[in-house]
Amino acid sequence: MTTDNPPEVKIITINIETPDGKLPTAKVKIPDIPMGLANLVPPMQQLCNGIVELAIKREIASGSAISCKKGCGVCCCQLVPLSAPEAFFLYGYIKSLPTERRTIIESRFNEIRKAMDSAGIIERLLKIEDTKEHKVLAWDYFKLAMPCPFLEDSSCSIHQIRPFACREYNVTSPAELCVDPFNNKIQRIKIPRNMTTATARLSADLCGVPPTLIPMTLLLEWVTENEAVGRLTWSGIWLFERMLEYATGTELEDKEEL
């Protein structure tokens, strides 16, 4: 009888400084096994939580109050951007659901996709070229008043695994202004490091393609069209260390030195 050798495990100490302070030191055990882009999401969610918590403390210390509360789902009608790792991660979550529940969620995605198609938003998404066009498109999507497929009773049914963009979206302006966030002066908390952008840049560099942001409501078809990318794997230890570089911005410093 032969016994497979257990994979190497590396303990990585995480010390991250942000403009709002230092995150609590953490030690993470990473097995040296093949990992894909979706495996990046859970640890990045924890980093994102820590960065957002520090930013919220900064705002509270300055006398502001967070207006976002459970049951206020207005922002859940916005066009939420996902990085490729998040798209694969959420797709895996959906496919893991019991059949009846999965069918309900997928039908909501399909309803939103039809509404986007009828409004010409999908066609415009494919041709978008600059930030101004994106803002107009995001406003037109918001006017469809189509709630997120995961929104139930005005609350997020996947709150623990919600996208980075949702975690980073916190406002201090009066909640009533959120009914029209594109024309009212919404005061959003500034986050020093955007995890959606960080994971999008990392996955783009890993795969040798331009950074891509996927509208969450189109993730089912995007993942289907890019399933080969979802099957790619790298050494878990190497991938996690690269992830930290992008999460902290040190990869930008490396490029500036070249």
Residue 214: partners with Cβ closer than 8 Å, 6 or more residues away: 81, 82, 83, 84, 86, 87, 222
| HSE-CB for 40 with a 13 A CA cutoff | 34
Tokens 């794997």 belong to residue = 233
Per-residue pLDDT, 234? 95
Number of domains in the chain: 1
Task: State the chain's mean pLDDT as an integer.
Answer: 88
| Residue 17: exposure state from Cβ atoms within 10 A (0-12, 13-18, ≥19) | exposed
Whether pLDDT at 130 is above 70: no
Whether pLDDT at 86 is above 90: yes
The tokens describing 65, both together, are: 């109050």
Residue 244: partners with Cβ closer than 8 Å, 6 or more residues away: 12, 14, 16, 250
Residue 244 lies in a domain: no
Structural domain containing residue 59: 40-229
Please check whether residue 38 is in contact with residue 65, taking contact to mean a CB–CB distance below 8 angstroms. no
* Residue 67: CB atoms within 10 Å: 17
Residue 5 lies in a domain: no
Residue 28 lies in a domain: no
